[in-house]
Amino acid sequence: MINLPHSFGYLRSRETLARSQVLQRSWSLMIDLSVAGICLACFYGVVLLARYWFGHPTPQIEISLSPRALPLYAFYSIVRIWMAYALSLIFAIVYGYTAAYNHRIEALMIAGLDILQSIPVLSFLPGVMLAMVALFPTRQIGLELGAIILIFTGQVWNMAFSFYSSLKSLPRELREATIIYRFSPWQRLMQLELPYAAIGLVWNSMVSVAGGWFFLMVCEMFVLGTRDFRLPGLGSYLQTAASTGNGSAIAWGLFTMIAIIVATDQLVWRPIIAWSDKFKFEQVETTSRVTSPLLHLFQNSRGLQALQKHTIQPIAEAVYQRFAENRQRLLAATAPSTPRAARNRQRGISVLQWIVLLAVVGVIGYAAIHALYLLREVKRTQFLQIMGGAMATFFRVNTSLLLASLWTIPVGVAIGFHPRLARIAQPLAQIAASVPATALFPILVMALVQMGGGLGTASILLMMLGTQWYILFNVIAGAMAIPSDLREVAQLYHFTTVQRWKTLILPGIFPYLITGLVTASGGAWNASIIAEYFRVRNQTLQTFGLGAIISAATDSGEFHILLLATIVMAGMVVTINRLVWRPLYHLAETRYKLGG
């Protein structure tokens, strides 16, 4: 998973593919042809998918290990991730918008976001899969939807939060300008709210999509008891390759994965970041900019321009005119009415709102009570076991955080302080970080077990694998943000190494370190579900822990234990966030903020 701190990475590695001079010659025909090619490819992809999805589900999917099968598998995996992402984006915007503008439910929605963010998504896997398969019993689409929804639940929350906080921090005078100049809600969304939130959404999208790979690997290899829900994809390919010990297949799989991630970076994120540059809410123009040849291609294609001129623009104009007319009509209708009538109408709306609210509360209450009924089946010994497991996992999570900090802080500071080192190390670290930890799990577990270590220690390493990057990248960003005059002061007065770390480096990177640790801690809890319990070549490796209990309950279909263990895990994550991370965060914001 990549977590790129702001203004980082892209600003440094932009020379690699930037051959914009070539594109600046006006090869309009070539550009149009390539755009047409892209469209055709998309069309074919949709046809292919439709044929596959609406086919009958093959009960046992054989994962072919031939490299020739890889392009198709990779294609399926990519589609899953981007479908989930599209869903996340829409949901995040709707959720953030509703939360920001409905004062009555705002607090509830934000608390919900906070909790949903901390719940281990993987616990929902069996429920979601079973529900979706039940919905579409004879179609492949049920399974696919299950996987997509699961990836979605792993991606959406940070995006929703980002959009919400952007809306909340809109400058007051800009908002007033939209009111005084009679913007319709649509125009306000298009010209103020979305542009203002764009940069935050883009960065969070990158984090989300990277996180999507993590969950994808798990979703594609889902087995519930005797039922096999495996999906053809890159994740299942890698896992099958690992469990059969096919070295060349593992290499092919990893190569494809890295290629996809690098390509996504170049072909999707870079153009989007270059494009979103104009949404920066700044008064002065920055000198360093991200460029993208692909964006240049799109913006200069005559075909696309003509298409936009003849489709999008007339539609947009029609929309705006419609809104303006509606407003006029509304004004004409309300002008003679007295304030009392307006108040009555408001009351009418609020009655309807109450009915909806009651219905929602009713459904939630019904479901919650049924879920709690499940818990009655939990025996005392099982409860104690879950509690013990929670302690063991708590210990493991924190050990992995500690170990990760021990190597990432010195390395991160070194990279941050030495620009030349950064130029070499950063692209490497980014690629290393972008390989989802779950893809490497099978390979690593096999290696570790063969070396004789138990899964108990191996799982700590596995958790580190997924989460150390959050800490590393944040520490690098923190070290880069320490003003050079402060470093010069330390040099001038001959600070000892200990003094340098205590008075300059650690306080300087503290806010960044905390951000990294919070994210890493959440990630480690989630990873424990896969790290502590592993099935390979028809044998199950497991160690004692909350994650293992959740996975085992999923495997055997013991939903009451699954539910309780999930509640315990979510409770622990939320509690730790409130009691430990939030005060530390506050401290970082108030005391250790540089250039406050």
Partner 1 sequence: MRAIFLLSLYYGHYKALQGNDTLSAKPAKCSGLQIPTNFQFQKTELMPPVIIRAEQVEKYYAQPSENRIQVISPTDLTISEGEIVALLGPSGSGKSTLLRMLTGLSTPSAGQVYWHEKPVSSGEANVAIVFQSFALFPWLTVVENVEAPLKARGMEPAERRKRAVKMLDTVGLDGFQTAYPKELSGGMRQRVGFARALVVEPEVLFMDEPFSALDVLTAENLRSELLELWHNKTMPTRAIFIVTHNIEEAVLLADRIIVLGRNPGHVRTDFKVALAHPRDRKAPAFTQLVDYIYKVLTQPERKLPALPLTPEGKPVRDQRQMHYQMLPHARPGGIAGLLEILLDHNGKDDIYRLADDLAFEIDDLLPIVDAAQLLGFLTVNEGDAAITPSGAEYANSEILRQKELFRTAAVENVLLLRQIVRAIEAKSDKSVPEEFFHDVLDEQFSEDETIRQLETAINWGRYAELFDFDASRRRFTQPEKLEEVSSGEIEE
> In whole angstroms, what is the distance from residue 192 CA to residue 89 CA?
18
Among the listed residues 279, 298, 544, 559, the single contact to partner 1 using CB under 8 A: 279
> In whole angstroms, what is the distance from residue 282 CA to residue 258 CA?
35
173 or 485, CB closer to partner 1? 173
179 or 492, CB closer to partner 1? 179
If binding is defined by CB under 8 A, does position 306 make contact with partner 1? no
> In whole angstroms, what is the distance from residue 390 CA to residue 385 CA?
9
If binding is defined by CB under 8 A, does position 278 make contact with partner 1? yes
Closest distance to partner 1 from the beta carbon of 591 (Å):
6
281 or 395, CB closer to partner 1? 281
| Spacing of C-alpha 113 from chain mean position | 14
Q: Which amino acid is at 570?
A: A
Closest distance to partner 1 from the beta carbon of 317 (Å):
6
If binding is defined by CB under 8 A, does position 98 make contact with partner 1? no
If binding is defined by CB under 8 A, does position 447 make contact with partner 1? no
330 or 391, CB closer to partner 1? 330
Closest distance to partner 1 from the beta carbon of 458 (Å):
41
Cβ atoms within 10 A of the Cβ of 85, count? Answer: 20
The answer to whether residues 542 and 548 touch, using CB atoms and an 8 Å cutoff, is yes
If binding is defined by CB under 8 A, does position 280 make contact with partner 1? yes
Residues forming a β-bridge with 542: 533
191 or 556, CB closer to partner 1? 191
Residues forming a β-bridge with 582: none
If binding is defined by CB under 8 A, does position 317 make contact with partner 1? yes
If binding is defined by CB under 8 A, does position 589 make contact with partner 1? no
Instruction: Please give the residues from 115 up to 174 whose contact with partner 1 meets the rule CB under 8 A.
Output: 171, 173-174
Phi and psi at 83, nearest 5°, equal: -60, -45
Instruction: Please give the residues from 321 up to 350 whose contact with partner 1 meets the rule CB under 8 A.
Output: 321-325, 331, 334-335, 337, 339
Provide the 3-class DSSP secondary structure of residue 536: strand
Question: Which of the ranges 185-193, 243-251, 362-370, 457-465 carries the binding residues for partner 1, by CB under 8 A?
Answer: 185-193
Cβ atoms within 10 A of the Cβ of 399, count? Answer: 15
Question: Which of the ranges 31-39, 176-184, 224-232, 236-244 carries the binding residues for partner 1, by CB under 8 A?
Answer: 176-184
DSSP 8-state symbol, 4: P
If binding is defined by CB under 8 A, does position 299 make contact with partner 1? no
Q: Per the structure block, which two tokens stand in for 96? A: 């953030």
Among the listed residues 22, 180, 333, 428, the single contact to partner 1 using CB under 8 A: 180
- Beta strand 533-536 with 223-224 is unpaired
Element (H, E) at 254: helix 247-264
Among the listed residues 56, 68, 181, 538, the single contact to partner 1 using CB under 8 A: 181
Closest distance to partner 1 from the beta carbon of 484 (Å):
27
Question: Which of the ranges 98-106, 135-143, 488-496, 586-594 carries the binding residues for partner 1, by CB under 8 A?
Answer: 586-594
Provide the 3-class DSSP secondary structure of residue 205: helix
Q: Provide CB contacts within 8 A for 61, sequence distance 6+.
A: 228, 230, 231, 232, 236
Q: How many residues in the chain?
A: 596
Give the 3-state secondary structure percentages of the chain, helix then strand then coil, rounded to 5: 80, 0, 20
Instruction: Please give the residues from 539 up to 558 whose contact with partner 1 meets the rule CB under 8 A.
Output: none
> In whole angstroms, what is the distance from residue 187 CA to residue 120 CA?
38
Closest distance to partner 1 from the beta carbon of 271 (Å):
17
Would you tell me which residues interact with partner 1 (CB under 8 A)?
A: 171, 173-174, 176-177, 179-184, 187, 191-192, 195, 198, 278-285, 313, 317, 320-325, 331, 334-335, 337, 339, 587, 590-591
